[in-house]
Structure 1
Amino acid sequence: MFDKATYVNRRAKLKELVKSGIIILFGNNESPCNFPANGYYPFRQDSSFLYYFGLNRDGLVGVIDIDNDIETLVGNDIDIEDIVWYGSVNSVHDMAESVGVKNTAPMKSLKTICNDAMRQKRHIHFLPPYRHDIKIQIFDLLGVHPVQQKESASMDLIKAVVKMRSTKEAQEIEELERASVIGYKMHTTAMRLTKPGLTEKYVAGHVDGTANSYGAMVSFPTIFSQHGEIMHGSPSMAELESGRLVLCDCGGETINNYCSDHTRTFPVNGKFTQRQLEIYSIVEACHDHALDVAKPGVKYMDVHFSVCRLMTDRLKELGLMKGDTEEAVAAGAHAMFLPHGLGHMMGMDVHDMESLDQINVGFDEETRPRLDQFGTNCLRMGRRLEEGFVVTDEPGIYFIPALIDDWKASEHCAEFLNFDKIEAYKDFGGIRIEDDILITKDGCRFLGEHRIPYHPKDVEEFMAQNK
Structure 2
Amino acid sequence: MFSKETYVNRRTELKKLVKSGVIILFGNNESPANFPANGYYPFRQDSSFLYYFGLQRDGLVGVIDIDNDKETLVGDDIDIDDIVWYGSVNSVSNMAEACGVKNCAPMKQLQVICNNALRDKRQVHFLPPYRHDTMIQIFDLLGIHPNQQREQASLELINAVVKQRSTKSQLEIEEIERACAVGYKMHTTAMRLTKPGVTEKFVGGQVDGIANSYGSMTSFPTIFTQHGEIMHGNPSMAVLESGRLALCDCGAETMEHYCSDNTRTFPVNGKFTQRQLEIYSIVVDCHDLALSLAKPGVKYFDVHLGVCRLMTDRLKELGLMKGDTEAAVRAGAHAMFLPHGLGHMMGMDVHDMEGLGQIHVGFDEETRPNLEQFGTNCLRMGRKLEEGFVITDEPGIYFIPALIDEWRAKGLHTDFINYEKLETYKDFGGIRVEDDLLITKDGCRFLGEERIPYHPKDVEEFMSKN
- TM-score category, normalised to shorter length: over 0.9
Question: Any residues of structure 2 matched to 1:2-401 within 5 Å, and which?
Answer: 2-401=2-401
Deviations 1:3-58 (A, max 9, x none): 00000000000000000000000000000000001233100000000000000000
Q: Secondary structure at the match of 1:297?
A: coil
Give the letter for the 2:47 counterpart.
Answer: S
Q: Secondary structure at the match of 1:211?
A: helix
Q: Secondary structure at the match of 2:238?
A: coil
1:411 deviates by 1.2
Does structure 2 conserve the Cα–Cα contact (< 8 Å) formed by 1:308 and 1:334? yes
Does structure 1 conserve the Cα–Cα contact (< 8 Å) formed by 2:263 and 2:433? yes
Give the letter for the 2:30 counterpart.
Answer: E
Does structure 1 conserve the Cα–Cα contact (< 8 Å) formed by 2:25 and 2:48? yes
Does structure 2 conserve the Cα–Cα contact (< 8 Å) formed by 1:289 and 1:307? yes
Does structure 2 conserve the Cα–Cα contact (< 8 Å) formed by 1:30 and 1:40? no
Q: How many angstroms apart in 1 are the aligned matches of 2:252 and 2:138?
A: 31
Give the letter for the 1:290 counterpart.
Answer: A
1:279 deviates by 0.2
Deviations 1:413-434 (A, max 9, x none): 0000100000000000000000
Q: How many angstroms apart in 2 are the aligned matches of 1:418 and 1:289?
A: 25
Does structure 1 conserve the Cα–Cα contact (< 8 Å) formed by 2:228 and 2:431? yes
Determine what percentage of the aligned residue pairs are the same residue: 80
Give the letter for the 1:463 counterpart.
Answer: M
Give the letter for the 1:320 counterpart.
Answer: L
- Residue 408 of structure 1: aligned partner: 408
Q: How many angstroms apart in 1 are the aligned matches of 2:43 and 2:252?
A: 15
Give the letter for the 1:76 counterpart.
Answer: D
Q: How many angstroms apart in 2 are the aligned matches of 1:176 and 1:411?
A: 45
Q: How many angstroms apart in 2 are the aligned matches of 1:144 and 1:464?
A: 59
Q: Secondary structure at the match of 2:64?
A: strand
1:260 deviates by 0.2
- Residue 434 of structure 2: aligned partner: 434
Q: TM-score, normalised by structure 1?
A: 0.99
1:311 deviates by 0.2
Deviations 1:244-286 (A, max 9, x none): 0010000000011000000000001111101100000000000
Q: How many angstroms apart in 1 are the aligned matches of 2:317 and 2:168?
A: 40
1:119 deviates by 0.6
Q: Secondary structure at the match of 1:233?
A: coil
Give the letter for the 2:197 counterpart.
Answer: G
Q: Secondary structure at the match of 1:68?
A: coil
Q: Secondary structure at the match of 1:352?
A: coil
Give the letter for the 2:131 counterpart.
Answer: R
1:402 deviates by 0.5
Q: How many angstroms apart in 2 are the aligned matches of 1:271 and 1:233?
A: 22
Q: How many angstroms apart in 1 are the aligned matches of 2:295 and 2:220?
A: 27
Does structure 1 conserve the Cα–Cα contact (< 8 Å) formed by 2:261 and 2:392? yes
Does structure 1 conserve the Cα–Cα contact (< 8 Å) formed by 2:30 and 2:39? no
Q: How many angstroms apart in 2 are the aligned matches of 1:13 and 1:37?
A: 39
Q: Secondary structure at the match of 1:363?
A: coil
Give the letter for the 1:193 counterpart.
Answer: L
| Structure 2 unpaired stretches of 5+ | none
Does structure 1 conserve the Cα–Cα contact (< 8 Å) formed by 2:223 and 2:234? yes
Q: How many angstroms apart in 1 are the aligned matches of 2:384 and 2:254?
A: 28
Q: Secondary structure at the match of 2:24?
A: strand
Q: Secondary structure at the match of 1:340?
A: coil
Deviations 1:198-230 (A, max 9, x none): 110000000000000000000000000000000
1:144 deviates by 0.3
Q: How many angstroms apart in 2 are the aligned matches of 1:366 and 1:437?
A: 23
Q: How many angstroms apart in 1 are the aligned matches of 2:25 and 2:36?
A: 25
Q: Secondary structure at the match of 1:260?
A: coil
Q: How many angstroms apart in 2 are the aligned matches of 1:185 and 1:438?
A: 20
Does structure 2 conserve the Cα–Cα contact (< 8 Å) formed by 1:247 and 1:264? yes
Q: CA RMSD in A?
A: 0.4
Q: How many angstroms apart in 2 are the aligned matches of 1:157 and 1:434?
A: 31
Q: How many angstroms apart in 2 are the aligned matches of 1:430 and 1:452?
A: 19
Give the letter for the 1:196 counterpart.
Answer: P
Give the letter for the 1:254 counterpart.
Answer: T
Q: Secondary structure at the match of 1:45?
A: coil
Give the letter for the 1:391 counterpart.
Answer: I
Does structure 2 conserve the Cα–Cα contact (< 8 Å) formed by 1:192 and 1:463? yes
Q: How many angstroms apart in 1 are the aligned matches of 2:18 and 2:37?
A: 40
Give the letter for the 1:460 counterpart.
Answer: E
| Structure 1 unpaired stretches of 5+ | none
